[in-house]
C-alpha cells in the first residue's frame, strides 16, 4: 500500500512569490490533515479535511494560506504571497474514518522563503 | 487549553542503558496520547498509543492521569533507537488534530 505522498520535497522561493504544495493521501482515507513545523518549534496543526469539506481550519495562520481538496482526493496548500516566517516543513497526514484514527504522515515539504 | 511538554530537547544514553523520554500534558478532558518517532531520513510514524497498551520495539508508555504524564520507556536502549521522538495529544477519542510537543532527539551511543 502506497503511503502519503507530498510534492515537492523541497521548495526555495523568494519573499512575495507563490508556492503550492500538494498532498496525496492514502487511497480511501477520508481525513486529511496539514501540519507545519517551523524551526525550533513544535509541529502545529493547520487544518483538517473530511473528504472535500474543511472540518477544522482553526490552525491556518492567516489569509495568505489557502487549502483545497477538490473531489475529496488530493489536497493543495497555497501560500500567496510567501513571507520569511512561512519557512518550515509542511506535513500532510491522512486517516480512515473510523474509531481508530491513526494518522499516517507524508515525508513533508521543506519550504524555504528567502 | 491543551499543551504537550517534552522537557528534554536532547537525550543521550549508551547502548544497553535504560532510557526514559518525558512527556507531560495539560488538558481538562480525557485525552488520547501518542508517541511518534522520526528516524533519520524517514517520515514521522506512530510508535504507540496509550489506548493500545502495547509494547512496540521494546518501548512502553503508561498514561498517568494523576501526574498528567505519558513518559516513554525502554529498559535497554539500542543504537537503532536513535531518532526524534514526539509526544502528541488528541482531545478525547474522536477524530481531530494532534497537539505535539517539541520533540526529544535521542542518541544511543555504542
- Give the pLDDT mean for B20-48: 93
Chain A positions contacting chain B at CB under 8 Å are 3-4, 31, 33, 35, 41-45, 48, 50, 55-56, 59, 91, 95, 97, 99, 101-108
Chain B contacts of A92, Cβ < 8 Å? none
Model pLDDT for residues B14-25, shown as the tens digit of each residue: 999 999 999 999
Strands B31-38 and B83-91: antiparallel
Chain A contacts of B99, Cβ < 8 Å? 45
CA dihedral B37, B39, B41, B45 (to 10 degrees): -30
Q: How far is CA A27 from CA A5, A68, A72, B87, B97, in A?
A: 11, 17, 11, 27, 20
Model pLDDT for residues A12-54, shown as the tens digit of each residue: 999 999 999 999 999 989 999 999 999 888 999 999 999 999 9
Under 8 Å between Cβ of B57 and B105: no
Query: Which of B4, B44, B97 is the closest to A91 by Cβ?
Result: B44
Rounded Cα distance between A52 and B88, Å, is 26
Query: Quick one: cell of A87?
Result: 519557512
- To which residue does cell 504544495 refer? A21
Q: How confident is the model at residue A101 (pLDDT cuts 50, 70, 90)?
A: confident
Amino acid at each position: 500500500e502506497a503511503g502519503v505522498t507530498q510534492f515537492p520535497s523541497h521548495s526555495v522561493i523568494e519573499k512575495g512569490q507563490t508556492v503550492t504544495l500538494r498532498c496525496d493521501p492514502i487511497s480511501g482515507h477520508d481525513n486529511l490533515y496539514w501540519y507545519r513545523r517551523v524551526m525550533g518549534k513544535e509541529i502545529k496543526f493547520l487544518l483538517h479535511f473530511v473528504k472535500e469539506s474543511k472540518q477544522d481550519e482553526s490552525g491556518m495562520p492567516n489569509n495568505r494560506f489557502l487549502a483545497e481538496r477538490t473531489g475529496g482526493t488530493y489536497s493543495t496548500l497555497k501560500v500567496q504571497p510567501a513571507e520569511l516566517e512561512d519557512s518550515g516543513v509542511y506535513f500532510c497526514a491522512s486517516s480512515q474514518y473510523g474509531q481508530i484514527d491513526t494518522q499516517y504522515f507524508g515525508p513533508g515539504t521543506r519550504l524555504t522563503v528567502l | 487549553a491543551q499543551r504537550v511538554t517534552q522537557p528534554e530537547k536532547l537525550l543521550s544514553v549508551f547502548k544497553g542503558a535504560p532510557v526514559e523520554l518525558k512527556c507531560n500534558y495539560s488538558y481538562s478532558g480525557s485525552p488520547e496520547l501518542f508517541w511518534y518517532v522520526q528516524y533519520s531520513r524517514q517520515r514521522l510514524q506512530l510508535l504507540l498509543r496509550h489506548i493500545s497498551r502495547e509494547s512496540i520495539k521494546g518501548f512502553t508508555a503508561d498514561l498517568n492521569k494523576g501526574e498528567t504524564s505519558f513518559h516513554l520507556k525502554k529498559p535497554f536502549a539500542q543504537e537503532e533507537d536513535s531518532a526524534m521522538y514526539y509526544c502528541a495529544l488528541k482531545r478525547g477519542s474522536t477524530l481531530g488534530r494532534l497537539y505535539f510537543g517539541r520533540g526529544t532527539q535521542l542518541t544511543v551511543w555504542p
